[in-house]
Each structure stands twice: as C-alpha cells, then as structure tokens.
Amino acid sequence: MKSMVGLFLVLAVLVVVPAVEYALAAGDEPGEYIDRRVLIWNLFYRLMAVAFVVGAVVSGTIIWQCWRFRESHPKAKPTPYEKEGVW
C-alpha cells in the first residue's frame, strides 16, 4: 500500500509542478510573452508518456497475474471449495 501512495505522489508531482511553472511563467517585462500552444503540447506529451508507462505497468501486472495463477501451474493447489465439489 505504501508503494501505491508513493506512485500516486510521484504522478501528482509530475502533473502539478509543470502546471504551477506554466502559471507563473509570465515574464516581468512587458515585451516577454509565452507561447501557450507550445506549453500545452509539451504538457500533453509529458502526460502521454506518463500514461503509457502506467499502462505498461498495469498490463504487465495483469499478464503476470494470469501467468502466475493459471490452472496448469505446477504449484497450483485446489482450494477447499474445489476439493469438496461445491461448484
């Protein structure tokens, strides 16, 4: 559970820090402008990279779970319900 909290904390920092940076990015001089389109696309690509990493981790976990707990696994033991024939 601690690792989940840490993961969500890291993801929150990855989203909040760029948003605060862009909110405070206005220059002090009147002639300094920021191109918001570039910043928005940059944020989009960063978040897409995070989404792909999270998706890969979730997919890998699901594949591992299916492989580990398959019925043909050598160490698989029937549960008490399966032994009694309750199904």
Average pLDDT, the chain: 80
pLDDT in tens, 5-27: 888 888 888 778 877 777 776 66
Q: What is the mean pLDDT of residues 31-56?
A: 87
DSSP states of 18-81 as a string? HHHHHHT---SSTT----HHHHHHHHHHHHHHHHHHHHHHHHHHHHHHHHHT-TT-TT----HH
CA angle 47, 48, 52 (to 5 degrees): 120
Residue 83 vs residue 62, higher pLDDT: 62
pTM of the model: 0.51
Domain assignments of the chain as residue spans, ordered by start:
17-87
Are 19 and 43 spatial neighbours (Cβ–Cβ below 8 Å)? yes
Give the pLDDT of residue 8.
80
DSSP category for residue 85: T
pLDDT classification of 86: cutoffs 50, 70, 90: low
